[in-house]
Chain A
Amino acid sequence: MAIQLERDDVDQAKDEWEQLTLLPFMERRPERRSSFRTLSGAELQRLYTPADVADVDYLATIGFPGQPPYTRGPYATMYRAQPWTMRQIAGFGTADDTNARFRFLIAQGQTGISTDFDMPTLMGCDSDDPRSDGEVGREGVAIDSVDDMLDLYRDIDLEKISVSMTINPSAWILLAMYLVAAEERGFDWKKLSGTIQNDIVKEYISQKEWVYPPKPAIRLVRDTIVFSTRNLPHYNPVNISGYHTREAGSTAIQEVAFTLAGGIGYVEEVLKLGIDVDSFAPRLSFFFVSQIDFLEEVAKFRAARRVWAKVMRDRFGAKKAESQRLRFHTQTAGASCTAREPLNNIARTAIEALAAVLGGTQSLHTNGYDEALSIPSEPAMKIALRTQQIIAEESGVAGTIDPLAGSYAVERLTSDIEAGCFAYFEEVEKRGGLVRCIEENFFQQEIADAAYDLYQRKERHEWELVGVTKYRDDTGNPKVELHHVDEAASERQLQRLRATKARRDENKVKTALAEIARVAQTDENIMPATLEAVRARVTGGEIVNALKPIFGAYVEKPIF
């Protein structure tokens, strides 16, 4: 009753304000657009009042940090205990080259490691595969065997720093290599912390790194989740991702909805084995983008946490609070960075980083100003890292939890994004579930349509890009020093690969590959056989190729 009265009062007062103050003012000074939209295309109201959030009950909907529905954050003290992990991604050339960059970043204050692999490694090809020509060590680090993995993290204490690896179709193999490297260096698996991205579902819909068709690929994800649950208490076996979906042009609602739909799919796969949801759900982690539309992004992160908490509780009956708790890494949006006037990207990245922090991220990579031009250079990474440190140390926002809670605009946007997600979940069910939707290009079509819509809004100047479509200065486009690609790295890696193959026991290789192939045709967990193979210095490409005849190869059906 009290809420209703208040809403009526406010609505009435707003009507009066519109009549007496707003409209006369608009006659003298009209608004510059007939409507204002977020980056995703959602309508932004002129003004949000308590009436707009009358349906948002603080206790039930917003709540407290560290407990369901987790809207305000996954931990009770958030950044007052420790800031988010500052985790700048690095990867280029050979393992030695990248190891040097890791040590530079740690010396500059980075608190977590994030590894970017070259296209061949990402696609399950060895450096000597014909398809790898021209791409070895170019967009990331080349890793063919455990020998590379040992050099990659040399002199880094794996029990003290968490290591994230951005790897998908061959994630289970890279995890095995990481574990064997850790084992050979005397680290205890139970003390390792880190993440593999290992989110194959989003590959089919956005990042497009795939080898096998969806069904066997999801089985591999399932196996890593199960293995990790049993053996790696501090490890996140998946980083279920929305970043790539958004970069492919989706809306904020689609980013969250399609990501969580993928998460729901993985949970269902593991549950089919009869494993209790509370035993593995707490270690599922997520990865979102932080785009430039500030308010929408803050709302998005909060909505994601609330949606997942409800899904885990209502759909899967999770009993442990930690099972409902969504934790995520964020990367600021590559797609928002321009090639023109690259230093402007420092400002963009700072705004996006702030949104991620106000959205409660656990881990953050900030892009370099050269993001649209090349893989990050050292100076660009240093400024990006400093940006995070300035937010943490100087801006004050880390001293209080979820400060934008209660903002009428932010709470309204949060609830709207939540509603949009549940609408998509219903649609996915109606269409026959996750795998069917992938096969029928449902997600892909939604993303393509959203991407095309944004492109048209840009062409109509409804969304401007400063320095490019507006305030364009054709006299000056500052050049920046870019990361220098070492063309000799490729040859060095091929030598490393030859040396590994020369040293190993070929009989062990054959036996190991035969065993992996055997396991692949059953429903046994693939990890033990993979670990054995990796110990014998079988390469990633050899394992991937051995399974192609068994699992098949995926061919997309492109939609426009």
Chain B
Amino acid sequence: MPIKVLVAKPGLDGHDRGAKIVARALRDAGMEVVYTGLHQTPEMIVTAAVQEDVDVIGVSILSGAHMTVFPRIMKLLEERGVDDICVIGGGVIQENDVPKLKVLGVREIFDADATTQNLIDGIERVVAEFGRARKRTGAATPAS
């Protein structure tokens, strides 16, 4: 089954060259990519992720505001009872912030020199390790 990825551009930053190339490359690797568009708030990103029921949220962030954006996204996912969507990120993210993000639950951070192949491999790895394989065997759980 195709992996479904949300490529998200939070904040006011308009640099989407990387995000769009990633979207195209993931499509070429057989994934289904939902692009959020620019100027997204964490609320909009999580709403889209929930409705699209993606496997992975990929956050593209170059503005330096990652220590505001990621915690907000992780908190919203928790509030909405979503525990099976993996969050990854890439862009301009200082090295010493990476461990802090991982503590929050962000699965992987890709640095600026990562190739799209790195990204594809990373997504497949993250989905295999943390994704919803366990749900594939049975029906969805009954309404709570």
Contacts and interface: CB of A to CB of B under 8 A. Distances in A.
Query: Is there a contact between chains A and B in the complex with CB atoms less than 8 Å apart?
Result: yes
A459 B35 contact: no
Interface residues of A, number: 40
Contacts of B14: 203, 207-210
B94 A482 contact: yes
A208 B63 contact: no
Contacts of B30: none
B10 to A, nearest CB: 9
A339 B111 CA distance: 9
Contacts of B105: none
B12 A122 contact: yes
Interface string A372-392: 111100000000000000000
- If over half of A's interface residues share one DSSP class (helix, strand or loop), that class is named, otherwise mixed; here it is loop
Interface string B31-42: 000010111010
A537 interface: no
Given A138-B64, A451-B21, A119 B69 contact: no
A46 B92 CA distance: 39
A249 B16 CA distance: 11
Given A139-B64, A372-B92, A558-B37, A455 B116 contact: yes
B17 interface: yes
B17 to A, nearest CB: 5
Contacts of B12: 119-120, 122-123, 125, 131-132, 135, 209
A119 B14 CA distance: 9
Interface string A446-461: 0010011001000100
Contact of A339 (B67, B113, B117): B113
20 contacts: A119-B63, A133-B68, A134-B11, A135-B11, A139-B64, A207-B14, A207-B15, A210-B14, A247-B15, A248-B17, A339-B111, A339-B112, A339-B113, A372-B92, A374-B92, A375-B64, A455-B25, A455-B116, A459-B116, A560-B35
B31 to A, nearest CB: 13
Interface string A519-556: 00000000000000000000000000000000000011
Contacts of A130: 41
B94 A134 contact: no
A485 interface: yes
Contacts of A374: 64, 92, 94
Interface string A256-281: 00000000000000000000000000
A120 B65 CA distance: 12
B38 A556 contact: yes
Interface in B80-131: 92, 94, 111-113, 115-117
Contacts of A210: 14
Q: Which of B12, B15, B20, B64 has the most CB of A within 10 A?
A: B12
B109 to A, nearest CB: 13
A207 B39 CA distance: 13
- Identify which of B20, B27, B63, B116 gathers the most chain A CB atoms within 10 Å of its CB: B20
A558 B35 contact: yes
Interface string A136-149: 00110000000000
Contacts of B74: none
A373 B20 contact: no
Contacts of B111: 339
Contacts of B52: none
A468 interface: yes
A163 B93 CA distance: 31
A82 B143 CA distance: 76
A119 B11 contact: yes
Contacts of B41: 130-131
A134 B20 contact: no
A167 to B, nearest CB: 13
B63 A138 contact: yes
A90 to B, nearest CB: 16
A468 B113 contact: yes
A560 B20 contact: yes
Tell which of B14, B23, B115 has the most Cβ of chain A within 10 Å: B14
A401 to B, nearest CB: 36
A119 B17 contact: no
A193 B56 CA distance: 50
Nearest to A118: B12
A482 B95 CA distance: 12
A451 B20 contact: yes
7 tightest Cβ-Cβ pairs between the two chains A and B: A208-B14, A134-B68, A119-B12, A134-B65, A339-B112, A123-B12, A248-B17
Given A451-B21, A455-B21, A340 B16 contact: no
Contacts of B64: 138-139, 374-375, 485
